[in-house]
Structure 1
Amino acid sequence: MRPSPGRPPPPAEGGRGLTGRIIEEVVDQPGALPMISHALLETRHRRRGRLLTLAAYEESSGVRGMIATTAEQVYTRLSAEHRRAARRILLRLIAPGTTTPAKP
């Protein structure tokens, strides 16, 4: 298949380009679609010209690196009071049942 006039040819990355790399990182993960969306958005911010590239994606440490960086940026912008609240909420999300009675 030939590229359209005025468009660059697709990158030759041995079949394991940007799409394949993102899919590899999120396959079988709950919440994969929002993770892919976030990865593409962050890759778009790092693009060169009009193309999303594997290099731009790798600059940000992949899906987990992008999510961690974004979470840290959001958390540091919170006031001290909101950070305490966020911490309580997040800790309850990762340790369910520790502050609630067990169900029979």
Structure 2
Amino acid sequence: MLSKIKIIFCLLVIFLMGANFCYAADNGNGQSFADNTMDYMINIWQTSVFPFISDVWARLGGFLNKEIGNRPNIKNKLENEKKEIREVIPQLVIPFWDKIKGLIK
């Protein structure tokens, strides 16, 4: 699955680069080739590549959250860790707080 995504991404980049150089060679606006190339690449990345990546990232995150939520052993481990943290924090904070009170008096 990951190799397919890599291949698709590489083909997309190659296609965009080819389209970029064909378009940027002469679009009749009097700018240099480098200016046209940068303008066109920025436009492509802002309008197509970044939204695609963010959409895939959001869908993947939703999928992972759903998968973790459906596994009771992972959920129970997280709950147990939360309970342990709630029990340990007062043991660390109260003696430290007592020392601070002693220094203040």
Question: TM class by shorter-chain length?
Answer: 0.3 to 0.5
Q: Report the TM-score when normalising by structure 1.
A: 0.32
Which protein is bigger by CA-based radius of gyration? 2
Select the structure with the greater relative contact order (CA < 8 A; seq sep ≥ 6): 1
**Higher helix share goes to which structure?**
2
